[in-house]
Amino acid sequence: MPRDEAGMLMNSGGAVNVRRAGLEEGRARDLLILTLAGLALFVWRLGSHDLWPPDEPRFALVAREMWQRADYAVLSLDDRLYTDKPPLFFWAINGFGRLLGGVDEWAARLPSAVAGLLALLLTYWLGASLYERRTGLYGALVFATSVQIVERARWASIDMTLSLFVLSAVVLLWRSWTAPERAPWVVRGAWILMGLATLAKGPVGLLLPLLAVLPAMLLERDLLAVRRVFLPSGIALYLAVTLAWFGIFAHRVGAAFAVQVLVHQNVERYVDAWNSRHPVWYYLWRFPAGFFPWSLAFPWGIAQGYAPEEAHHRRSVTFLVTWIVAILVFFSLSTGKRGVYIIPLYPAASILVGRLLAQAGAPGSTGGRAARRRLLPPLALWIASGAFLAIGLPFLARARFPSLAPVAAIVGLSLLGGGIASCVLVRRRGGAGAPACLAVSAGIALLVVVGAAVPRVNAYQNIKGFAEQVKARLDPGARFATTEQKRDAWVFYTGRFAEPLDTPERVLAYLALPGRRDLLIEEGKLREVRAALPAGVVEILRGRVGSQEYHLLERASAP
CATH of the domain at 542: 3.40.190
406, 508: one domain: no
Same domain, 509 and 449: no
| Residue 7 forms part of a structural domain | no
pLDDT band at residue 19, thresholds of 50, 70 and 90?
low
Predicted pLDDT at 20: 66
End residue of a domain, out of 422, 445, 460 = 460
Same domain, 436 and 477: no
Are residues 148 and 132 in contact, defined by beta-carbon separation less than 8 angstroms?
A: no
Yes or no: say if 228 and 187 are a contact pair by the CB < 8 Å rule: yes
How do 479-483 and 517-522 pair as beta strands? parallel
71 and 196 in a common domain: yes
Does residue 546 share a domain with residue 516? yes
Count of beta carbons in the 10 Å neighbourhood of residue 397:
20
Task: Say whether both 227 and 367 belong to one domain.
Answer: no
Instruction: Identify the CA nearest to 283 among candidates 212, 349, 219, 218.
Output: 349
- 349 and 212, same structural domain? yes
CA 437 to chain centre: 25
Among 427, 443, 460, the domain-final residue is 460
Whether 1 is in a domain gets the answer: no
354, 401: one domain: no
* Separation between Cα atoms, residue 88 and residue 471, nearest integer Å: 31
Confidence of residue 182 (pLDDT cuts 50, 70, 90): confident
Among 460, 480, 509, residue at a domain's last position = 460
Residues 511 and 440 in one domain: no
pTM value is 0.94
pLDDT bracket for residue 1 (50, 70, 90): very low
* CB burial readout 306-324, b (16+ within 10 A) else e: ebeebeebeebbbbbbbbb
Range of the domain at 72: 19-360
Q: Is residue 3 part of a domain?
A: no
Average pLDDT over residues 226-240: 97
334 is a domain residue: yes
The answer as to whether 72 is a domain residue is: yes
Lowest mean pLDDT among 9-18, 108-117, 208-217, 369-378: 9-18
- Segment 517-521 shows an average pLDDT of 96
Average pLDDT over residues 421-425: 95
Helix intervals (H) in 264-367: 269-271, 283-290, 298-305, 314-333, 346-360
Is the domain of 447 the same as that of 469? no
- Using CA atoms, how far apart are residues 35 and 33, in angstroms rounded to an integer? 6
Is residue 188 in a domain? yes
Same domain, 57 and 178: yes
Q: Which residue from 493, 546, 545 is spatially nearest to 104, judged by alpha carbons?
A: 493
Has residue 172 been placed in a domain? Answer: yes
Minimal CA–CA distance to 553: which of 492, 509, 507? 507
The answer to the question of residue 543 being in a domain is yes
Number of compact structural domains in the chain: 3
Return d(Cα 539, Cα 251) in angstroms, integer: 47
354 and 425 both lie in a single domain? no
pLDDT at residue 386 is higher than 50: yes
pLDDT for residue 25:
81
% of residues, the chain, pLDDT over 90: 86
